[in-house]
Amino acid sequence: MHRLTSLFLALSIVLGTFIVVSSENWFIIWTGLELSTLALIPLLCANFTPRNVEAAIKYFLIQAISAALILNSALINAWFFGSWSILSPTNEVSTISLSIALAFKLGLAPCHFWFPDVLQGLPFIQGLIISTWQKIAPLILLFSFSSLVNSNLLILAGIISVIIGGWGGLNQTQIRKILAFSSIGHMGWIVITSFYSINIALIMLFLYLLINTTMFLLVEHLNIFTLGHLNVATYISPKAPALIIVTILSLGGLPPLTGFMIKFLSLTILVNENFILLSSLLILGSLLSLFFYLRIAFNTSLSLFPQHIVSLSSWRNSTSSATLPAKTWFLSFVFIVSAIGLPIIPPLYMNV
């Protein structure tokens, strides 16, 4: 694909997201979502391999269903209340329709079935766009109009997402599928927290986007597709294993890394609201996901993990080592600085 064409499509994706965030009309919001989706589809199938095209078609179908549900919800409101404004009242049918549409777009369980399969069929950069940027518009909609959705339905979906995000990744050896189930779990945390504190949910979203972007860029540059490729990361780039270990452990939420703040802030709010059972279920889901995060860290540090193949790369025949690009160094530097600074500066989050 020509560079100018890719740039135009990328700008259209950004424009679509900003239209959604800044609009107060349901039809304009639907237009922004469709603009972002249609601009992304050509980028998803840029390689034009059968698996790539299949993933792009699945993504398009799911996004078309969710967009249709949003438009249907807006039409019901316009029919009953004569207004397309997001400030107009809503009835039960449109509320449920909007909640299901957001669950599809965010990959919340039980509407998550498309996300691991689509992410597995795409290159890392396209997968990064789907798991980070494309989640911003639906989440901002949820943060801004939480009164317009069925909170009980989405909280239940968030709990199931955290558990499935941990359970589904246990038996995976493909890095992209592991990151997909990780994304499902984190979306559950953010969605549940958003109903009790919008500010903390925004902080959690920012930290998740930063850590997940760093992880995707690292594995994309090192061509790490399975767990078996991790044990040669040291030879490919001697500085990469430390970055991978710190990033993946932060994604898992181990203290005192930045990812721990995602779970700590959420649990603080939930415990203060006396949701002890809900907090326990979230902790259980995080403990399940911690298994495959530690599995990645062990393999990267050359601590061989049992019951899977750990030698899939012919590293003895390699003659050159790779250097991490500037974009990865920049994001890694920002992440490491935040990992050191955030846990030891309580004023950043204690008064949120």
The domains of the chain are located at 3-348
Supply the mean pLDDT for the chain.
83
| Residues contacting residue 161 through CB under 8 Å, at least 6 positions apart | 107, 108, 109, 112, 184, 185, 187, 188, 191
pLDDT in tens, 314-342: 444 444 555 556 666 666 666 665 555 55
pTM for this predicted structure:
0.87
**Least confident stretch, 51-65, 156-170, 232-246:** 232-246
Is pLDDT above 80 for 1? no
Structure token pair of residue 164: 């499935």
**What's the CA gap between 154 and 169, in Å, rounded?**
22
Is pLDDT above 60 for 202? yes
pLDDT at 336: 63
pLDDT at 58: 94
Is pLDDT above 50 for 65? yes
Is pLDDT above 70 for 52? yes
pLDDT in tens, 160-178: 999 999 999 888 889 999 9
Q: Name the nearest CA neighbour of 81 among 93, 92, 70, 90.
A: 90
pLDDT in tens, 276-310: 999 999 999 889 898 889 888 888 876 444 444 44
Is pLDDT above 60 for 159? yes
Q: Is 299 helix (H, G, I), strand (E, B) or coil?
A: helix
